[in-house]
C-alpha cells in the first residue's frame, strides 16, 4: 500500500510504487490526487469522503479513466446512512441538476437552492 496526501513529501516515489505494481492499494486525498496523475493501472476507485463540489470527485475518478486504460474501472462511494456525507451527496445531486439546467437554458425556478435545503444539509 502507498498513499498520497497534500503533505506527502515523496510524491513521485508514491506514484511509482503503485504504477510499477509494488503497491496494490493507493490511498489518495481528493485534493492531492485531483490533478496531474495518470493512473491507468487502477481499476477500482473508492470515494470515502464526499466533496461539496461533484466536479472535484469526478476529476479524481478521471485519474483512472485516461488514454491507455484497457480495463473496466469500477467506482464506489462509501456513504453512511443519516450522516453529513449523505447530505453532501444530496447537495451534489442538486448542483448537478442546476448545472444541467444552465446548459439546457432552463429558467425553471424550482431548481434553486433555498434556505430549507441549507438547514436540511446541516441537520444530523
Q: Are residues 96 and 116 in the same domain?
A: yes
Q: Are residues 46 and 71 in the same domain?
A: yes
Q: Are residues 63 and 86 in the same domain?
A: no
State pTM to two decimals: 0.74
Averaged over 44-68, what is the pLDDT?
Answer: 89
Q: Are residues 9 and 53 in the same domain?
A: yes
Q: Are residues 103 and 60 in the same domain?
A: no
Split at pLDDT 50, 70, 90, the class of 122 is low
For 82: left if phi > 0, alpha if psi spans -120 to 50, otherwise beta; the answer is: left
What pLDDT is recorded for position 68?
87
- What is the secondary structure of the chain as a DSSP string? -EEE-TT-S-HHHHHHHHHTTS-S-EEE-HHHHSSS---TT--EEEE-S--SSHHHHHHHHTTTS-TT--S--EEEE---TTSHHHHHHHHHHHHHHHHHHHHHT---GGG---HHHHHHHH--
Q: Are residues 67 and 95 in the same domain?
A: no
What pLDDT is recorded for position 100?
75
The domain total for the chain is 2
Dist CA 57 CA 45 (whole Å): 10
Convert the pLDDT of each residue in 17-47 to its tens digit: 999 999 999 999 888 887 788 999 999 999 9
Per mean pLDDT, which of 3-12, 16-25, 56-65, 79-88 is the most reliable?
16-25
pLDDT higher than threshold 60 for residue 9: yes
Find the range with the poorest average confidence among 19-23, 90-94, 108-112. Answer: 108-112
Q: Are residues 43 and 102 in the same domain?
A: no
Q: Are residues 48 and 88 in the same domain?
A: no
Domain ranges, residue 113? 81-124
In DSSP terms, 75 is beta-bridged to 45
Q: Are 85 and 79 in contact, with CB atoms under 8 Å apart? A: yes
Q: What is the CATH number of the domain that holds 24?
A: 3.40.50.300
Amino acid at each position: 500500500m502507498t498513499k498520497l496526501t497534500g503533505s506527502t513529501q515523496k510524491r513521485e516515489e508514491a506514484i511509482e510504487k503503485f504504477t510499477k505494481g509494488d503497491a496494490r492499494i493507493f490511498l489518495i486525498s481528493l485534493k492531492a490526487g485531483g490533478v496531474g496523475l495518470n493512473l491507468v493501472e487502477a481499476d477500482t476507485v473508492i470515494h470515502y469522503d464526499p466533496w461539496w463540489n461533484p466536479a472535484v470527485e469526478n476529476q479524481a475518478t478521471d485519474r483512472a479513466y485516461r488514454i491507455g486504460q484497457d480495463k473496466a474501472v469500477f467506482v464506489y462511494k462509501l456513504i453512511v446512512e443519516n450522516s453529513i456525507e449523505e447530505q453532501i451527496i444530496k447537495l451534489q445531486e442538486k448542483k448537478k441538476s442546476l448545472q444541467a439546467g444552465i446548459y439546457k437554458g432552463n429558467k425553471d425556478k424550482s431548481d434553486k437552492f433555498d434556505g430549507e435545503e441549507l438547514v436540511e444539509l446541516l441537520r444530523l
